[in-house]
Structure 1
Amino acid sequence: MVVEGNIDHGSSSTPSNPVQETPSVKLLTFNTWGLKWLSKYRKQRLRAIADELSGRFTAVPIPGIEFVELGRRQSHFEQYDIVALQEVWCQEDWDYIVMRCGENYPYHRIFYSGIITGPGLAILSKIPIESTFLYRFPINGRPSAIHRGDWYVGKSIAITLLQPIGGNTCPLAIMNSHMHAPYALQGDAAYACHRACQAWDFAKLANLYKKAGYAVIVTGDLNSRPGSLHHRLLTDETGLVDSWEQLYGQQDLEALRKMKPAEQIMYGCTTCDSNLNTWRFHKRRDEACRLDYALVDPECMQPIAAGARFTERIPGIGSFSDHFAYTCTLKLLPRASSNIPRSIIFSQSRERLLQRYVNYEEMLQCLTQYVVTAKRQRFLRYTHFVLSLVVLLFSCVLAFMTNLAAIFWVLFTTVVCFTGTLDVLMAFMFGGKELRALREVELEVIGVQQYLQTQLDVRDKP
């Protein structure tokens, strides 16, 4: 049984004491920044994370911080029942984590998918794992963005179904993900449409597991700011609540930007781009944001505590990662056996349904704008291929008619052939696939929007 977020393996009960304490689980989600060759001090930091999770303290508090919660070393070993990790991309790092944490977390799994290494998703658990499933996002960046890598690692949702904790609570479905990163706030480099499509798929999967009777927890680095379209799709479409906002209310983001960095962490749980993080010290105060979440089903669990973790520093190195971790403690609520799964539309207020309608309009606009970009890119790749054929033919004629060095023409024609062939392959094999996937999402959104409109019309009738 889980009591107050920690699994009690040694407790026993007697017939004379039938009272059961309310079970709860403590979750930690952490983007570990484990890119091989690119992340600074990767091996040392990942090993320090494993050491901390296993109770071997290595870090020191942030110097000069007046807030007790950020400036002190925990007086006791803070244990978590479930640890969801992102960006664990090196096998040697995962092997070390398992070796160090195997005693505290006997159940663990890393997920493999994608062209290079995999999505970087892993889970450690004190609760037995019943089964796992990996869902790869069909819309996930472009293969031409080699320097960004999202397409090559295969961004996914790692779904872990855990053994039921008590006889009267719903089993847990942990949906851990690292959605496509934004490389700008606006424009094509923001990849806003890609994340919106990922959030749409995410919401549909979460609803399926909810209908199957699971207590769903959507967690990870969702690369979505509070109140963004992606964040709204994950909450409005599923009925899940943001565990931080459930405890502390929807926050004034403008006021948060003006706070001191330590206050931003305390009151806004800014896990990303805080200049208190040594790998983000160059960031402006107003760039700090919250990207790491635990979205939970309020019918099955209730958040009772939450906050940032791994804010300390490793001596001689710096912060544990370029993100801070996020933790929340969730009290599991008794299962309502009489509840019959219904469409979420029937359980939401008119105001919430109208908000969903606005979300659909914004989603369709986002899709329309990006489809123009996708078609233009495919056209340019086909054009490049045709021009490559023309240049290749012209260079062959020129080489035959002149006495220029043959090696120059060999190199030149090789480059022309390679780049032209690469572009036509991407245009044919990826460009069409992406456009069809975008069209599929568009039709899904239109279908749900039309159904929602009929339900609003029914409610409006006297």
Structure 2
Amino acid sequence: MSDEDSAYSIKFLTFNTWGLKYVSKHRKERLRAIADKLAGHSTLTPIAEEFLPSAEGEEDYDVIALQEVWCVEDWKYLAAACAAKYPHQRLFHSGILTGPGLAILSKVPIESTFLYRFPINGRPSAVLRGDWYVGKSVAITVLNTGTRPIAIMNSHMHAPYALQGDAAYLCHRSCQAWDFSRLIKLYRQAGYAVIVVGDLNSKPGSLPHKFLTMEAGLIDSWEQLHGTQDLEAISRMGPLQQLLKGCTTCDSLLNTWRAQRQPDEACRLDYALIDPDFLQTVDAGVRFTERIPHLDCSVSDHFAYSCTLNVLPQGVETRPATSATGARAHDRDLILQKYSNYETMIECLHTYMKTAQRQKFLRGVHFWASVLLLVAALVVTTFTANRAGWSSILWVLFAIAVSITGTIDGGISFLFGRSEIRALIEVEQEVLDAERHLQTFLSKK
């Protein structure tokens, strides 16, 4: 971190490391390769000379935010390897089976940390997807810079498992982004320079992305540097140009774990969203595009994203000055855009609410049907035992299966189902409150 006349720059890296135990291939070797490179001992092979960072020390970061660090042994290796270079470290804990996979390595002293766990975060019935079990969260780290306090908000939001429909989990991510925006506003109002980093699993221009930028008052650091992106044009580019022009960190054909994808599937899901009042992007790009030589594979199924930010002195205005008339027109346009986002969000909530209620009802029906089947099995056993004693074993096994499945579905229905529906209602009420507040402004203009 450089310091000059109260203005300084700070360099970030955000990286989804793909550290799922038993699922991610070559997990241990890949995580160790990542740790070694961060510690300054890289043996990775570049994919293209023209994409290599040219300046010496380009890979020397001030703050590193990691996602999907889900194995303690991986974290221990990362922490030990990087201890000399990044003495301030934190792994965040949450969830049932494991933590949210969020970690931070920093040269800058950590003043405080806080973990906010999303109340709407998938379903316990989606065992193979696991989002509910890891407790997706926002890991907030306040850095002690000696001047302006910086709040780093690292997150890995719910993944989409389909392009459309229930499996896309759009409502879950939108609810998470809505809660996220509330946190961002609180920290901004308290005077912190907020930086949101991580794998947000949302494309630019999507509803979650709008909540984290337009609603929260942040700006996409890549777009601050390069302007609003034409996603259609980027989808038609070659893979290397997609990296350079579109910062496509996910599903790039240059990533060995995504080489079977279609070219137009490459997208940007990893971000640094920044407070434009205090921060200015001066450099940004994709990192960790290299491969591990002896495995001939990429180090993760995502590429990393890095940005260098100037932290501006007090009183410096980064936004261009506008006339009073222009400001009023801009304000009205922003209000109308926010209003449209609220309407879209309410529609999204209503659509998913039907799914949540249906699943709660069906699981409840399964529970009560299981109770009746269990009673019936006990009655039938008393009659069949005298005629064919061996049949009792089959009925006992049947009763056990009915009891286990019925209890699980009953628990999901009566406990999780009710909780999720109430959480959805709460988000809807919050959005309606915000919408009514905007209506008072629109009626005055």
Short-chain TM bin: over 0.9
Counterpart position of 1:413? 399
Counterpart position of 1:393? 375
Moved more, 280-289 or 21-30: 21-30
CA distance in 1 between partners of 2:411 and 2:219 (Å): 43
- State the Cα RMSD in Å: 1.8
Q: CA deviation at 1:21?
A: 7.1
CA distance in 2 between partners of 1:101 and 1:384 (Å): 51
* Partners of 2:6 and 2:313 within 8 A in 1: no
Matched residues, number: 431
Matched, 1:326 2:308: no
Superposed CA deviations along residues 176-222 of structure 1, whole A, max 9, x for unmatched, are 00000000010000010000000000000000000110000011000
Q: CA deviation at 1:347?
A: 11
CA distance in 1 between partners of 2:360 and 2:201 (Å): 27
CA distance in 2 between partners of 1:450 and 1:28 (Å): 39
Matched, 1:378 2:360: yes
- State the SS of the aligned residue for 2:28: helix
Match of 1:310 among 288, 310, 324: 288
CA distance in 2 between partners of 1:21 and 1:92 (Å): 40
Counterpart position of 2:322? none
- State the SS of the aligned residue for 2:258: coil
CA distance in 2 between partners of 1:26 and 1:377 (Å): 46
CA 1:73 to 1:208, structure 2 compared with 1: closer, same or farther past 3 Å? same
Match of 1:217 among 195, 201, 205: 195
CA 1:174 to 1:76, structure 2 compared with 1: closer, same or farther past 3 Å? closer
- State the SS of the aligned residue for 2:271: strand
CA distance in 1 between partners of 2:142 and 2:57 (Å): 30
Aligned AA for 1:368? H
Which structure 1 segments of 5+ residues have no match? 9-18, 339-344
Counterpart position of 1:425? 411
CA distance in 2 between partners of 1:55 and 1:359 (Å): 44
* Partners of 1:304 and 1:331 within 8 A in 2: yes
Counterpart position of 1:26? 11
Counterpart position of 1:183? 161
Superposed CA deviations along residues 365-392 of structure 1, whole A, max 9, x for unmatched, are 0000000000000000011012112222
Counterpart position of 1:15? none
Match of 1:255 among 220, 233, 244: 233
Matched, 1:53 2:32: no
Counterpart position of 2:222? 244
* Partners of 1:55 and 1:77 within 8 A in 2: no
CA distance in 2 between partners of 1:174 and 1:84 (Å): 9
Counterpart position of 1:78? 59
* Partners of 2:203 and 2:268 within 8 A in 1: yes
Q: CA deviation at 1:401?
A: 2.6
Moved more, 399-408 or 195-204: 399-408
Moved more, 387-396 or 318-327: 387-396
- State the SS of the aligned residue for 1:217: strand
Moved more, 383-392 or 73-82: 73-82
- State the SS of the aligned residue for 2:95: coil
* Partners of 1:162 and 1:173 within 8 A in 2: yes
Counterpart position of 1:360? 342
CA distance in 2 between partners of 1:239 and 1:165 (Å): 25
Matched, 1:163 2:141: no
* Partners of 1:61 and 1:73 within 8 A in 2: no
State, as a whole percentage, how many aligned pairs show the same letter: 60
* Partners of 1:241 and 1:296 within 8 A in 2: yes
Alignment of 1:342-357 (within 5 A): 349-357=331-339
* Partners of 1:300 and 1:334 within 8 A in 2: yes
Counterpart position of 2:103? 122
Counterpart position of 2:180? 202
Runs of 4+ in structure 1 over 4 Å off: 72-77, 345-348
Aligned AA for 1:427? S
CA distance in 1 between partners of 2:302 and 2:169 (Å): 20
Counterpart position of 1:452? 438
- State the SS of the aligned residue for 2:256: coil
Match of 2:212 among 234, 249, 262: 234
CA distance in 2 between partners of 1:223 and 1:182 (Å): 7
Counterpart position of 1:41? 26
* Partners of 2:153 and 2:197 within 8 A in 1: yes
Q: CA deviation at 1:337?
A: 9.7
Q: CA deviation at 1:77?
A: 5.9
Match of 2:275 among 281, 297, 307: 297
Superposed CA deviations along residues 376-421 of structure 1, whole A, max 9, x for unmatched, are 0000001101211222223233323332521111111100011111
Normalized against structure 2, the TM-score is what?
0.94
CA distance in 1 between partners of 2:407 and 2:73 (Å): 37
Counterpart position of 2:122? 141
- State the SS of the aligned residue for 1:279: helix
Q: CA deviation at 1:74?
A: 7.0
Superposed CA deviations along residues 47-68 of structure 1, whole A, max 9, x for unmatched, are 1101001110210011xx4x60
CA 1:142 to 1:102, structure 2 compared with 1: closer, same or farther past 3 Å? same
CA distance in 2 between partners of 1:287 and 1:222 (Å): 16
Match of 2:82 among 101, 111, 114: 101
CA 1:213 to 1:75, structure 2 compared with 1: closer, same or farther past 3 Å? closer
CA distance in 1 between partners of 2:268 and 2:104 (Å): 21
Which structure 2 segments of 5+ residues have no match? 318-326
Aligned AA for 1:354? L
Aligned AA for 2:367? F
Aligned AA for 1:161? V
CA distance in 1 between partners of 2:224 and 2:138 (Å): 24
CA distance in 2 between partners of 1:281 and 1:290 (Å): 16
CA distance in 2 between partners of 1:210 and 1:75 (Å): 34
Superposed CA deviations along residues 246-304 of structure 1, whole A, max 9, x for unmatched, are 11111111111111111111100000011211111111111111000000011101001
Superposed CA deviations along residues 212-253 of structure 1, whole A, max 9, x for unmatched, are 100000110000000000000111111100000111111111
Alignment of 1:11-22 (within 5 A): 20=5, 22=7
